[in-house]
């Protein structure tokens, strides 16, 4: 037999290898029974999971189980790269993390690592499950990357580590089963899903990424911010504005002032790669910047939180789905401009086109990463290093309020010298009328003033009323990759002493933008369509500062500082240490600590007596009003020991039983929800589970059927449950949905249909309260107060010239999602345990005025109000002085029962820990002795 030359062997082996990979890897069509993008066909998660497991057999992949979902499914990340790269995966992961953290690296070392490393790109799909292109492009992308052997794919695999992440397994299962339940393809529809596509949060699963309440968020956050820290992350959504195919990067202003500019220009570069590729492939319809509503202001979205970590976070919002649709004719979209350089024309649109577009966009991103691997790695290092430098020296972030202060200082001097007012220095943004600008000393009058510097760090003292909640805040930082230190001994900074166990967060670290955002106010610019015109609504919240929402007490430190601090390893979650101090006739639990409610619910569930002390304990003002008292009996001590160690509670003993104790009784709690699922209700359902409140979900038909008092003691209505008088609809959040007809639905969902109405529901709720029940209303559901004719009015009204009253116009008053401060009356049972001043989440929330004799008659008691005309703490509050003296929350007697009305979002996305007890307090009954 003739000898075969070595080179031929190599060729033969390569051919065999390619054949092998093509043979062993099943195509989507073979696996699912249809090609991805076929009309009227969707894959379930069960099928997708099985397919990912088949792809895991390829030498180009590594399948990673990143954790369980809220419904208990496995959530996967499929890592795709060349077989050679996968052999060194740990090394490349290490390089990716070191470059992002930039800690202890010189530029020289960073250049060497950049040359050695591989670009890491995250691509996810399916976060919003009705946006079906997301999951299906993920499946198709995985298949193509694993099976294709063209030069571009090979170049990508050689230079890039691709993280393909399924963002919401539970939702895909729900949505696909819903869509595919119709046998006739033409009858299939994504409309009228019976419940939320994430167990608690639904669409708000994309608002959880700085708080990380949900398991899916925790799973993905761990990979994004602790394990991998990719240089690029690409988050797929739907859908673009009407008349376009998709909206994508770059995004409209305002961009957040804490960002590194290199991150923002990095988005520009990737955006250009995306729409250039679409145009070269004759795929029109991409819009960007002001062509769509998406901005980079908000933190907390899957994509946006990455911006605060120096990652190039990409979002596209594409049209299409399994049911063919039309690209509508929108005349103004037909004119090419900077936002939409290549408009699409009206046409029939099929699922496959959206999949093809998505593949082009993914390949554009991956091709960019393969070609610019070195720069991507070096630039994330550069941004991290910039952050470390800004946090190591005096630095003034260019917030609008600082620039406004310059303009005001200049104007004040002008007035002094000329005796007349001059035009605003900011009204002429291009400086045409004053080419020389204004004297530089005005810059120094703000940007060189030591008292106005950015902090070098923050200290969270272990000595605060609710340290367990403060520790939850610390864990939110740790889950997002922030470096946190903890004091191993008492220490003093800036003249203040702190106990051991206190946490320290220094700003000299790579993800400084994120940590500033978690502690400092968001300074949303005054953003109007034109001077004097209507405000431009922020895409989501204007202000959210989690430390404020959570009621965390902390100090800002403006100078560099050191102390006996231990570095907590990245990603290592903290458990607060509680204790039971002493023993006696009974035990005390401060109601200022939210976790006390967990302990109390466990004690009552075990059949033990729990009391509250309305005015607290003499000599123990630290405990606050409404302190819990638990007699030392039965299993009380054992349960309290357990609660102290599990929930970080400080339990103190009391020598003898207090005289003023009122006994608590557990209540039968109902929580309103609706067909399709209310997100605010879902968050409260999750909250009640976390804090061990047993509860029943209640729907409109059960309310309308009456006899509520037989079944329940308290009914909770979150925002957007109860319509305004004279209206049948609650104001919509997102697209308003048509209620399906009962006969279109499986029988199990029919009892969920129906809405709260003035005619049928309100009389039953009134009767329920008259018979001693209580109703808690939050946000717009405080409308119930008007239905009941209580002596309260809308405080945000003005008089017209003709003497008519009307709501204040948005040109005068506009407060989108922001943090405001209220005064509270913590002597009221409903507000026990609250501080005298509290930060609340306010979102165009109702504000009330009492009728003059309402309080005298004792019918209405204010619980929280705006004590002055400057309540803004974080965000945007145009015309905030109108809020002065407005009532934010009150309790009213209705027969033998009560109505609690909370205008602000006291349970906002399960983030506003500082106001949770305004709900919790209402979930216990009190038996007066």
Shortest Å, Cβ 540 to Zn ion = 12
When the beta carbons of 130 and 461 are compared against Zn ion, the nearer one is 130
Reference 516, options 555, 536, 542, 545; nearest CA is 545
When the beta carbons of 205 and 601 are compared against Zn ion, the nearer one is 205
When the beta carbons of 237 and 898 are compared against Zn ion, the nearer one is 237
When the beta carbons of 25 and 247 are compared against Zn ion, the nearer one is 247
Shortest Å, Cβ 165 to Zn ion = 15
Vertex 711: Cα angle to 627 and 860 (nearest 5): 50
With a CB cutoff of 8 Å and minimum separation 6, the contacts of 309 are: 100, 224, 225, 229, 480, 481, 510, 511, 513, 514
When the beta carbons of 131 and 485 are compared against Zn ion, the nearer one is 131
When the beta carbons of 122 and 565 are compared against Zn ion, the nearer one is 122
Whole-angstrom distance, CA of residue 452 vs CA of residue 162:
43
Q: For residue 385, give the H/E element and its range.
A: helix 373-390
Residue range at the interface with Zn ion (CB under 5 A); choices 129-137, 545-553, 707-715, 765-773: 129-137
Cα 126 vs. chain centroid, distance in angstroms? 17
Shortest Å, Cβ 263 to Zn ion = 22
Site pattern 71..110 for Zn ion (x: CB under 5 A): ----------------------------------------
Question: Contact, 359 vs 246, CB < 8 A?
Answer: no
Site pattern 427..466 for Zn ion (x: CB under 5 A): ----------------------------------------
Reference 902, options 924, 883, 881, 887; nearest CA is 887
Residue range at the interface with Zn ion (CB under 5 A); choices 235-243, 290-298, 673-681, 733-741: 235-243
With a CB cutoff of 8 Å and minimum separation 6, the contacts of 796 are: 807, 808, 813, 847, 882, 883, 886
When the beta carbons of 237 and 685 are compared against Zn ion, the nearer one is 237
Cβ-count burial 492-504 (b if 16+ within 10 Å, e if not): ebeeeebeebbbb
Site for Zn ion in 474-493 (CB under 5 A): none
Shortest Å, Cβ 133 to Zn ion = 10
Shortest Å, Cβ 677 to Zn ion = 16
Counting contacts by CB under 5 A, is residue 350 touching Zn ion?
no
Shortest Å, Cβ 203 to Zn ion = 7
What are 459's strand-pairing partners?
Answer: 504, 555
Shortest Å, Cβ 131 to Zn ion = 5
Residue range at the interface with Zn ion (CB under 5 A); choices 231-239, 540-548, 631-639, 908-916: 231-239
When the beta carbons of 247 and 715 are compared against Zn ion, the nearer one is 247
When the beta carbons of 221 and 481 are compared against Zn ion, the nearer one is 221
Which 3-state string (H, E, C) describes 46-82? Answer: HHHHHHHHHHCCCCCEEEEEEEECCCCCEEEEEEECC
Decide: residue 232, CB within 10 A, 0-12 exposed, 13-18 middle, 19+ buried: buried
When the beta carbons of 98 and 237 are compared against Zn ion, the nearer one is 237
CB neighbourhood size of 93 (10 A)? 18
Find the distance separating the first CA and the last CA of the chain, reported in whole Å.
105
Residue range at the interface with Zn ion (CB under 5 A); choices 32-40, 69-77, 121-129, 185-193: 121-129
Residue range at the interface with Zn ion (CB under 5 A); choices 236-244, 838-846, 888-896, 913-921: 236-244
Shortest Å, Cβ 238 to Zn ion = 6
Shortest Å, Cβ 269 to Zn ion = 24
Site size for Zn ion, by CB under 5 A? Answer: 3
Residue range at the interface with Zn ion (CB under 5 A); choices 124-132, 518-526, 596-604, 755-763: 124-132
Q: Dihedral sign, CA of 293, 295, 298, 301?
A: positive
When the beta carbons of 124 and 227 are compared against Zn ion, the nearer one is 124
Shortest Å, Cβ 481 to Zn ion = 24
Shortest Å, Cβ 221 to Zn ion = 18
Shortest Å, Cβ 178 to Zn ion = 17
Q: DSSP string covering 174-218, please? A: HHHHHHHTSSSGGG--S---SS-SSTTTGGGGGS-TTT--SHHHH
Q: Dihedral sign, CA of 210, 214, 216, 222?
A: positive
Which 3-state string (H, E, C) describes 273-301? Answer: HHHHHHHHCCCCCEEEECCCCCEECCCCC
When the beta carbons of 263 and 315 are compared against Zn ion, the nearer one is 315
Shortest Å, Cβ 127 to Zn ion = 6
Decide: residue 278, CB within 10 A, 0-12 exposed, 13-18 middle, 19+ buried: buried
Residue 79: φ, ψ to 5° = -90, 125
Q: Dihedral sign, CA of 443, 444, 447, 449?
A: negative
Shortest Å, Cβ 70 to Zn ion = 18
- H runs (alpha helix) in 695-821: 700-704, 761-770, 783-787
When the beta carbons of 453 and 537 are compared against Zn ion, the nearer one is 537
Counting contacts by CB under 5 A, is residue 237 touching Zn ion?
yes
Q: For residue 644, give the H/E element and its range.
A: helix 636-647
Whole-angstrom distance, CA of residue 595 vs CA of residue 646:
10
β-pairing, 887-894 vs 860-865, is antiparallel
Shortest Å, Cβ 291 to Zn ion = 17
Whole-angstrom distance, CA of residue 903 vs CA of residue 864:
10
Whole-angstrom distance, CA of residue 757 vs CA of residue 735:
21
Site for Zn ion in 609-648 (CB under 5 A): none
CA distances to 30, 138, 142, 165, 539 from 48, in Å: 13, 10, 11, 12, 32
Shortest Å, Cβ 171 to Zn ion = 11
Shortest Å, Cβ 307 to Zn ion = 17
Question: Contact, 730 vs 780, CB < 8 A?
Answer: yes
From the list 128, 307, 479, 647, which residue makes contact with Zn ion (rule: CB under 5 A)? 128
When the beta carbons of 322 and 846 are compared against Zn ion, the nearer one is 322
Q: Dihedral sign, CA of 108, 109, 110, 115?
A: positive
When the beta carbons of 158 and 325 are compared against Zn ion, the nearer one is 325
Site for Zn ion in 131-160 (CB under 5 A): 131
β-pairing, 696-698 vs 774-778, is unpaired
Shortest Å, Cβ 237 to Zn ion = 3
Counting contacts by CB under 5 A, is residue 60 touching Zn ion?
no
Residue range at the interface with Zn ion (CB under 5 A); choices 237-245, 464-472, 660-668, 703-711: 237-245
When the beta carbons of 126 and 862 are compared against Zn ion, the nearer one is 126
Residue range at the interface with Zn ion (CB under 5 A); choices 64-72, 91-99, 233-241, 567-575: 233-241
Reference 433, options 423, 444, 442; nearest CA is 423
Site for Zn ion in 863-902 (CB under 5 A): none
Decide: residue 553, CB within 10 A, 0-12 exposed, 13-18 middle, 19+ buried: middle
Residues lying near Zn ion in the complex (CB under 5 A):
128, 131, 237
């Amino acid at each position: 037999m003739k000898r075969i030359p070595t080179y031929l062997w190599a060729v033969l082996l390569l051919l065999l290898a390619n054949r092998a990979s093509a043979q062993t890897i099943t195509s989507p069509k073979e696996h699912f029974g249809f090609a991805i993008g076929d009309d009227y066909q969707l894959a379930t998660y069960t099928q997708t999971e099985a397919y990912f497991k088949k792809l895991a057999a390829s030498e180009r992949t590594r399948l990673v189980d990143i954790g369980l979902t809220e419904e208990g499914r496995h959530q996967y990340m499929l890592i795709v790269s060349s077989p050679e790269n996968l052999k060194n995966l740990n090394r490349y992961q290490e390089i990716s993390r070191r470059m992002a953290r930039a800690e202890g690296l010189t530029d020289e070392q960073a250049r060497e690592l950049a040359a050695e490393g591989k670009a890491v790109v995250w691509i996810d799909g399916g976060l919003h499950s009705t946006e079906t292109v997301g999951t299906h492009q993920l499946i198709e992308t995985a298949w193509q990357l694993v099976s294709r052997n063209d030069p571009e794919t090979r170049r990508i695999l050689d230079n890039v580590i691709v993280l393909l992440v399924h963002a919401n397994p539970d939702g895909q299962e729900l949505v696909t089963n819903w869509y595919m339940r119709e046998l006739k393809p033409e009858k299939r529809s994504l409309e009228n899903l019976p419940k939320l596509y994430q167990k608690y949060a639904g669409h708000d699963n994309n608002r959880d990424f700085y708080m990380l309440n949900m398991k899916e968020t925790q799973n993905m956050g761990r990979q994004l911010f602790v394990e991998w820290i990719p240089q690029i992350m690409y988050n797929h959504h739907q859908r673009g504005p009407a008349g376009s195919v998709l909206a994508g990067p770059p995004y409209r202003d305002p961009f957040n002032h804490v960002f590194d500019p290199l991150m923002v220009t990095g988005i520009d570069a990737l955006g250009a790669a995306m729409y250039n590729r679409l145009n070269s492939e004759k795929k029109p319809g991409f819009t960007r910047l002001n062509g769509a509503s998406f901005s980079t202001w908000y933190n907390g979205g899957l994509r946006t939180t990455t911006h605060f970590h120096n990652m190039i976070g990409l979002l596209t919002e594409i049209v299409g789905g399994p049911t063919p649709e039309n690209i509508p004719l929108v005349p103004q979209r037909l004119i090419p401009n900077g936002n939409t350089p290549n408009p699409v024309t009206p046409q029939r649109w099929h699922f496959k086109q959206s999949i093809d577009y998505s593949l082009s966009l993914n390949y554009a991103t991956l091709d960019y990463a393969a070609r610019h691997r070195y720069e991507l790695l070096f630039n994330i290092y550069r941004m991290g290093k910039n952050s470390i430098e800004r946090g190591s020296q005096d630095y003034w972030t260019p917030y609008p309020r600082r620039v406004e202060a310059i303009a005001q200082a200049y104007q004040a001097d002008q007035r002094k010298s000329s005796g007349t007012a001059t035009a605003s220095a900011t009204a002429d943004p291009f400086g045409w009328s004053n080419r020389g600008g204004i004297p530089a000393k005005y810059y120094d009058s703000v940007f060189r003033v030591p008292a106005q510097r950015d902090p070098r760090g923050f200290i969270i003292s272990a000595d605060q009323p609710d340290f367990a909640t403060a520790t939850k805040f610390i864990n939110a930082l740790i889950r997002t990759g922030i470096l946190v230190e903890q004091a191993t001994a008492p220490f003093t900074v800036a003249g203040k002493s702190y106990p051991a166990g206190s946490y320290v967060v220094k700003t000299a670290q790579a993800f400084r933008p994120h940590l500033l955002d978690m502690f400092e106010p968001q300074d949303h610019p005054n953003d109007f369509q034109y001077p004097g015109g209507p405000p431009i609504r922020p895409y989501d919240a204007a202000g959210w500062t989690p430390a404020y929402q959570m009621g965390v007490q902390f100090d800002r430190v403006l100078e560099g500082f050191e102390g006996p601090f231990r570095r907590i390893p990245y990603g290592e979650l903290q458990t607060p240490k509680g204790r039971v101090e002493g023993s006696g006739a009974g035990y005390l639990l401060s109601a200022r600590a939210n976790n006390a409610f967990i302990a109390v619910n466990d004690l009552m569930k075990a059949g033990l007596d729990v009391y509250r002390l309305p005015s607290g304990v003499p000599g123990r003002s630290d405990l606050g009003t409404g302190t819990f008292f638990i007699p030392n009996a039965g299993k009380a001590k054992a349960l309290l020991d357990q609660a102290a160690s599990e929930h970080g509670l400080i339990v103190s003993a009391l020598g003898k039983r207090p005289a003023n104790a009122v006994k608590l009784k557990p209540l039968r709690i109902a929580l309103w929800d609706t067909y399709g699922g209310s997100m605010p209700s879902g968050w409260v359902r999750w909250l009640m589970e976390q804090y061990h409140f047993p509860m029943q979900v209640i729907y409109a038909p059960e309310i309308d059927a009456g006899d509520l008092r037989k079944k329940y003691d308290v009914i909770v209505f979150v925002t957007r449950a109860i319509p305004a008088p004279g209206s049948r609809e609650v104001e919509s959040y997102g697209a308003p949905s048509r209620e399906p007809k009962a006969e279109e639905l499986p029988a199990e969902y029919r009892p969920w249909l129906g809405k709260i109405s003035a005619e049928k529901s309100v009389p039953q709720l009134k009767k329920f309260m008259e018979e001693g029940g209580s109703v808690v209303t939050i946000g717009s559901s405080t409308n119930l107060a008007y239905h009941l004719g209580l002596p309260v009015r809308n405080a945000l009204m003005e008089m017209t010239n003709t003497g008519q009253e009307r709501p204040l116009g948005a040109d005068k008053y506009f407060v989108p999602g922001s943090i405001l401060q209220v005064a509270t009356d913590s002597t009221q049972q409903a507000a026990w345990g609250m501080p005298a001043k509290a930060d609340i989440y306010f979102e165009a929330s109702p504000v009330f005025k009492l009728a003059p004799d309402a309080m005298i008659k004792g019918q209405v008691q204010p619980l929280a109000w705006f004590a002055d005309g400057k309540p803004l703490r974080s965000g945007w509050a145009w015309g905030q002085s109108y809020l002065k003296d407005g009532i934010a929350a009150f309790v009213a007697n209705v027969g033998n029962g009560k109505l609690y009305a909370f205008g602000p979002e006291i349970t906002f996305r399960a983030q506003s820990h500082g106001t949770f007890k305004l709900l919790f307090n209402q979930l216990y009954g009190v038996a007066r002795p």
